[in-house]
Amino acid sequence: MGYVFDFNDAVAYEAWYKLQRNRTTADLECRLMMDMLKPAPGETVLDIGCGTGTSLRPFIDIGLQATGLDPSPYMLDFALKNLGHRVDLHRGFAEDLPFDDNFFNYACLFTTLEFVEDKQKAIEEASRVAKDKLFIGVMNRYAVKGVQRRVKGVFTKTIYNRAHFFSIWELKEIIRSLLGDVPVSWRTVCQLPVGPQMLTTRIEKFSLLQKFPFGAFAGMVVTLVPRFRTKPLSVRIKSKQTPVPL
Protein backbone atom coordinates (compact mmCIF):
# COMPACT_ATOMS: atom_id res chain seq x y z
CA MET A 1 0.00 0.00 0.00
CA GLY A 2 2.82 2.42 0.71
CA TYR A 3 2.42 5.77 2.43
CA VAL A 4 -1.03 7.39 2.30
CA PHE A 5 -1.02 11.16 2.81
CA ASP A 6 -3.01 12.25 5.85
CA PHE A 7 -4.93 15.48 6.47
CA ASN A 8 -1.86 17.40 7.66
CA ASP A 9 0.11 16.32 4.58
CA ALA A 10 -2.67 17.53 2.29
CA VAL A 11 -2.91 20.90 4.04
CA ALA A 12 0.88 21.30 3.97
CA TYR A 13 1.02 20.59 0.23
CA GLU A 14 -1.68 23.15 -0.51
CA ALA A 15 0.25 25.72 1.53
CA TRP A 16 3.48 24.78 -0.29
CA TYR A 17 1.88 25.25 -3.69
CA LYS A 18 0.59 28.74 -2.85
CA LEU A 19 4.15 30.09 -2.71
CA GLN A 20 5.22 31.58 -6.06
CA ARG A 21 8.62 29.86 -6.21
CA ASN A 22 6.98 26.48 -5.62
CA ARG A 23 4.35 27.09 -8.30
CA THR A 24 7.20 27.89 -10.70
CA THR A 25 8.81 24.54 -9.83
CA ALA A 26 5.52 22.65 -10.26
CA ASP A 27 4.87 24.41 -13.59
CA LEU A 28 8.30 23.38 -14.90
CA GLU A 29 7.61 19.75 -13.95
CA CYS A 30 4.17 19.75 -15.57
CA ARG A 31 5.49 21.46 -18.69
CA LEU A 32 8.11 18.73 -19.05
CA MET A 33 5.41 16.06 -18.77
CA MET A 34 3.27 17.70 -21.46
CA ASP A 35 6.22 18.28 -23.80
CA MET A 36 7.24 14.64 -23.55
CA LEU A 37 3.77 13.10 -23.90
CA LYS A 38 2.41 15.53 -26.51
CA PRO A 39 -1.24 14.65 -25.78
CA ALA A 40 -4.09 15.76 -28.06
CA PRO A 41 -7.52 17.13 -27.15
CA GLY A 42 -10.14 14.43 -26.75
CA GLU A 43 -7.69 11.76 -25.63
CA THR A 44 -7.88 10.13 -22.22
CA VAL A 45 -5.39 10.19 -19.34
CA LEU A 46 -5.18 8.62 -15.88
CA ASP A 47 -3.12 10.40 -13.22
CA ILE A 48 -2.20 7.76 -10.63
CA GLY A 49 -1.56 9.43 -7.28
CA CYS A 50 -3.13 12.67 -8.48
CA GLY A 51 -2.89 14.36 -5.08
CA THR A 52 -4.54 17.79 -5.03
CA GLY A 53 -4.80 17.90 -8.83
CA THR A 54 -1.73 19.95 -9.76
CA SER A 55 -0.60 17.52 -12.46
CA LEU A 56 -4.15 17.03 -13.81
CA ARG A 57 -4.78 20.70 -14.59
CA PRO A 58 -2.57 20.90 -17.75
CA PHE A 59 -4.45 17.98 -19.31
CA ILE A 60 -7.85 19.51 -18.54
CA ASP A 61 -6.78 22.90 -19.90
CA ILE A 62 -6.06 21.46 -23.38
CA GLY A 63 -9.23 19.37 -23.54
CA LEU A 64 -8.30 15.85 -22.46
CA GLN A 65 -10.73 13.57 -20.63
CA ALA A 66 -8.89 13.35 -17.32
CA THR A 67 -9.23 10.82 -14.52
CA GLY A 68 -7.44 11.05 -11.18
CA LEU A 69 -6.83 8.33 -8.61
CA ASP A 70 -5.36 8.67 -5.12
CA PRO A 71 -5.44 6.59 -1.92
CA SER A 72 -5.84 9.69 0.29
CA PRO A 73 -9.39 11.03 0.74
CA TYR A 74 -7.92 14.32 1.97
CA MET A 75 -5.90 14.86 -1.21
CA LEU A 76 -8.98 13.99 -3.28
CA ASP A 77 -11.02 16.56 -1.35
CA PHE A 78 -8.53 19.25 -2.35
CA ALA A 79 -8.49 17.96 -5.95
CA LEU A 80 -12.27 18.26 -6.13
CA LYS A 81 -12.11 21.75 -4.65
CA ASN A 82 -9.38 22.83 -7.10
CA LEU A 83 -10.73 21.20 -10.28
CA GLY A 84 -14.45 20.79 -9.68
CA HIS A 85 -16.27 18.29 -11.85
CA ARG A 86 -13.96 18.72 -14.83
CA VAL A 87 -12.16 15.56 -13.72
CA ASP A 88 -13.33 12.07 -12.75
CA LEU A 89 -11.85 11.26 -9.32
CA HIS A 90 -11.46 7.82 -7.73
CA ARG A 91 -10.01 6.55 -4.50
CA GLY A 92 -7.68 3.60 -5.02
CA PHE A 93 -4.13 2.28 -5.02
CA ALA A 94 -1.50 2.26 -7.74
CA GLU A 95 -0.91 -1.46 -7.36
CA ASP A 96 -4.57 -2.37 -8.04
CA LEU A 97 -6.20 -0.03 -10.55
CA PRO A 98 -9.99 -0.38 -10.97
CA PHE A 99 -9.92 0.03 -14.77
CA ASP A 100 -9.95 -2.29 -17.78
CA ASP A 101 -6.94 -3.06 -19.95
CA ASN A 102 -5.99 -0.33 -22.46
CA PHE A 103 -8.71 1.95 -21.06
CA PHE A 104 -6.69 5.21 -21.35
CA ASN A 105 -4.39 6.69 -23.96
CA TYR A 106 -1.93 7.72 -21.25
CA ALA A 107 -1.16 6.89 -17.64
CA CYS A 108 1.00 9.06 -15.38
CA LEU A 109 2.87 8.39 -12.14
CA PHE A 110 3.78 11.95 -11.18
CA THR A 111 5.90 11.90 -7.98
CA THR A 112 3.85 8.88 -6.98
CA LEU A 113 6.27 5.98 -7.34
CA GLU A 114 8.36 7.38 -4.46
CA PHE A 115 5.59 6.55 -1.96
CA VAL A 116 4.32 3.25 -3.38
CA GLU A 117 5.14 0.01 -1.59
CA ASP A 118 5.33 -2.28 -4.64
CA LYS A 119 6.91 -0.14 -7.34
CA GLN A 120 7.10 -2.91 -9.94
CA LYS A 121 3.41 -3.72 -9.53
CA ALA A 122 2.48 -0.04 -9.83
CA ILE A 123 4.33 0.23 -13.16
CA GLU A 124 2.77 -3.02 -14.37
CA GLU A 125 -0.71 -1.75 -13.56
CA ALA A 126 -0.09 1.63 -15.19
CA SER A 127 1.16 -0.13 -18.33
CA ARG A 128 -1.89 -2.39 -18.32
CA VAL A 129 -4.52 0.37 -18.32
CA ALA A 130 -2.70 2.63 -20.83
CA LYS A 131 -2.46 1.81 -24.52
CA ASP A 132 -0.12 4.51 -25.87
CA LYS A 133 2.35 5.98 -23.40
CA LEU A 134 3.30 5.94 -19.73
CA PHE A 135 4.85 8.98 -18.03
CA ILE A 136 6.85 8.54 -14.82
CA GLY A 137 8.04 11.64 -12.99
CA VAL A 138 10.30 11.18 -9.96
CA MET A 139 12.48 13.09 -7.53
CA ASN A 140 16.03 12.55 -8.74
CA ARG A 141 18.35 10.76 -6.32
CA TYR A 142 21.47 12.41 -7.76
CA ALA A 143 20.23 15.99 -7.89
CA VAL A 144 21.61 18.48 -5.38
CA LYS A 145 18.04 19.17 -4.25
CA GLY A 146 17.45 15.44 -3.78
CA VAL A 147 20.52 15.11 -1.57
CA GLN A 148 19.43 18.14 0.48
CA ARG A 149 15.97 16.66 1.01
CA ARG A 150 17.37 13.33 2.20
CA VAL A 151 19.88 14.99 4.53
CA LYS A 152 17.14 17.18 5.99
CA GLY A 153 15.10 14.04 6.62
CA VAL A 154 17.88 12.67 8.83
CA PHE A 155 17.49 15.52 11.33
CA THR A 156 13.81 16.48 11.07
CA LYS A 157 10.56 14.70 10.31
CA THR A 158 9.52 15.48 6.73
CA ILE A 159 7.46 13.77 4.05
CA TYR A 160 10.73 12.89 2.31
CA ASN A 161 11.48 10.40 5.08
CA ARG A 162 8.75 8.31 3.47
CA ALA A 163 10.04 8.69 -0.10
CA HIS A 164 12.28 6.50 -2.22
CA PHE A 165 14.38 8.71 -4.50
CA PHE A 166 15.18 7.28 -7.95
CA SER A 167 17.99 7.66 -10.41
CA ILE A 168 17.31 7.60 -14.14
CA TRP A 169 19.32 4.40 -14.50
CA GLU A 170 17.46 2.62 -11.69
CA LEU A 171 14.13 3.55 -13.22
CA LYS A 172 15.17 2.37 -16.68
CA GLU A 173 16.33 -0.93 -15.26
CA ILE A 174 12.97 -1.52 -13.57
CA ILE A 175 11.07 -0.69 -16.76
CA ARG A 176 13.23 -2.95 -18.94
CA SER A 177 12.87 -5.84 -16.51
CA LEU A 178 9.07 -5.52 -16.57
CA LEU A 179 8.28 -4.45 -20.14
CA GLY A 180 11.25 -5.61 -22.15
CA ASP A 181 13.06 -3.51 -24.75
CA VAL A 182 10.39 -0.81 -25.12
CA PRO A 183 11.22 2.72 -26.34
CA VAL A 184 12.18 4.92 -23.37
CA SER A 185 13.13 8.60 -23.31
CA TRP A 186 14.01 10.85 -20.38
CA ARG A 187 14.72 14.48 -19.48
CA THR A 188 15.21 16.47 -16.29
CA VAL A 189 14.27 19.96 -15.12
CA CYS A 190 14.88 22.14 -12.07
CA GLN A 191 18.61 22.09 -12.72
CA LEU A 192 19.09 25.53 -11.20
CA PRO A 193 17.82 27.32 -8.08
CA VAL A 194 14.49 29.03 -8.74
CA GLY A 195 14.98 32.66 -9.74
CA PRO A 196 12.67 35.13 -11.52
CA GLN A 197 9.89 33.10 -13.13
CA MET A 198 10.36 34.14 -16.76
CA LEU A 199 14.15 33.76 -16.66
CA THR A 200 14.01 30.39 -14.90
CA THR A 201 11.42 29.04 -17.35
CA ARG A 202 13.41 30.23 -20.36
CA ILE A 203 16.66 28.65 -19.18
CA GLU A 204 15.06 25.37 -18.12
CA LYS A 205 13.42 24.92 -21.54
CA PHE A 206 16.80 24.41 -23.28
CA SER A 207 16.78 20.82 -24.59
CA LEU A 208 20.53 20.41 -24.00
CA LEU A 209 20.15 21.35 -20.33
CA GLN A 210 17.31 18.87 -19.94
CA LYS A 211 19.60 16.03 -21.03
CA PHE A 212 21.75 16.55 -17.94
CA PRO A 213 20.87 13.69 -15.55
CA PHE A 214 21.06 15.84 -12.40
CA GLY A 215 17.88 17.94 -12.46
CA ALA A 216 15.77 17.71 -9.31
CA PHE A 217 12.84 16.28 -11.30
CA ALA A 218 13.32 13.49 -13.83
CA GLY A 219 10.63 12.64 -16.36
CA MET A 220 10.54 9.41 -18.33
CA VAL A 221 8.18 8.39 -21.15
CA VAL A 222 7.64 4.75 -22.03
CA THR A 223 6.06 4.00 -25.40
CA LEU A 224 3.96 0.92 -24.77
CA VAL A 225 4.41 -1.90 -27.27
CA PRO A 226 1.69 -4.59 -27.39
CA ARG A 227 2.93 -8.06 -26.57
CA PHE A 228 1.06 -11.19 -27.55
CA ARG A 229 1.31 -14.69 -26.18
CA THR A 230 0.62 -17.57 -28.53
CA LYS A 231 -0.29 -21.08 -27.61
CA PRO A 232 0.01 -23.91 -30.13
CA LEU A 233 -3.25 -25.75 -30.62
CA SER A 234 -3.48 -29.31 -31.79
CA VAL A 235 -5.78 -29.82 -34.75
CA ARG A 236 -7.50 -33.13 -35.14
CA ILE A 237 -7.66 -34.35 -38.71
CA LYS A 238 -9.60 -37.38 -39.68
CA SER A 239 -7.60 -39.19 -42.29
CA LYS A 240 -9.35 -40.64 -45.29
CA GLN A 241 -9.06 -44.35 -45.80
CA THR A 242 -7.24 -45.19 -49.00
CA PRO A 243 -8.62 -48.18 -50.88
CA VAL A 244 -6.24 -51.10 -50.96
CA PRO A 245 -5.48 -52.11 -54.55
CA LEU A 246 -6.46 -55.67 -55.43
CATH architecture assignment, domain 7-223: 3-Layer(aba) Sandwich (3.40)
* Higher-confidence position of 236 and 101: 101
Mean residue pLDDT across the chain:
87
Q: What is the pLDDT of residue 120?
A: 96
Residue 209, phi then psi, degrees to nearest 5:
-65, -35
Q: What is the pLDDT of residue 60?
A: 97
Rounded CA gap, 106 and 83, in Å? Answer: 19
Q: What is the pLDDT of residue 235?
A: 62
* Higher-confidence position of 150 and 89: 89
Percent of the chain with pLDDT over 70: 82
Q: What is the pLDDT of residue 228?
A: 52
* Range with lowest mean pLDDT among 13-17, 21-25, 52-56, 199-203: 199-203
Q: What is the torsion angle, in degrees rounded to the nearest 10, for the CA atoms of residue 175, residue 132, residue 34 and residue 10?
A: -70
Interval 177-220: pLDDT, tens: 999 999 999 999 987 766 555 556 667 777 777 888 889 999 99
Rounded CA gap, 80 and 107, in Å? Answer: 20
Is the confidence at residue 239, as pLDDT, over 80? no
Rounded CA gap, 90 and 108, in Å? Answer: 15
Three state DSSP letters for the chain: CCCCCCHHHHHHHHHHHCCHHHHHHHHHHHHHHHHHHCCCCCCEEEEECCCCCCCCHHHHHCCCEEEEEECCHHHHHHHHHHHHHHCEEEECECCECCCCCCCEEEEEEECCHHHCCCHHHHHHHHHHHEEEEEEEEEEECCCHHHHHHHHHHHHCCCHHHHCCCECHHHHHHHHHHHHCCCCEEEEEECCCCCCCHHHHHHHHCCHHHHCCCCCCEEEEEEECCCCCCCCCCCCCCCCCCCCCCC
Q: Residue 60: exposed, middle, or buried by beta-carbon count in 10 A (0-12, 13-18, 19+)?
A: middle
Residue pair 46/122 in contact (Cβ under 8 Å)? The answer is: no
Question: What is the chain's alpha carbon radius of gyration, rounded to the nearest angstrom?
Answer: 22
Is the confidence at residue 122, as pLDDT, over 80? yes
